[in-house]
Amino acid sequence: QVQLVESGGGLVQAGGSLRLSCAASGSIFSIYVMGWYRQAPGKQRELVATITNIGSTNYADSVKGRFTISRDNAKNTVALQMNSLRLEDTAVYYCNVRAKSSWSGPLGDYWGQGTQVTVSS
């Protein structure tokens, strides 16, 4: 099993910045993809950004140029730097990791508990 602990959410004014962090621990053989998703009230959970174990990144169109995802493979951490925040970025942000606990084991999909990001005008 893999446990994820998120930190860094909070309240920020529009145009401001926040940095989210997520640390993975537990029975980890290899982490393949790390990412961030978000869910606003009344909406479905959506992808924000992902990063593979070789550093390939993918961003939602709505955050391109404003958000940057990064990871530290040695520490099993992933971060999301969010700049130029907008009201519509308000949501609960979830860390997601796709990892194996052993060489022959299945690829698991793990989620953090979520951290609230609120952007005010």
pLDDT of residue 34: 97
pLDDT of residue 113: 96
What value does the CA radius of gyration of the chain take, rounded to a whole number of Å?
14
Strand ranges for 53-88 from DSSP E: 57-59, 67-72, 77-82
Tell me the C-alpha distance between 85 and 17, whole Å: 6
Residue 102 has pLDDT above 90, yes or no: no
The residue-averaged pLDDT of 54-75 equals 97
DSSP conformation class of 2: E
Query: Virtual CA dihedral for 93, 19, 88, 53, nearest 10 degrees?
Result: -60
The residue-averaged pLDDT of 49-65 equals 97
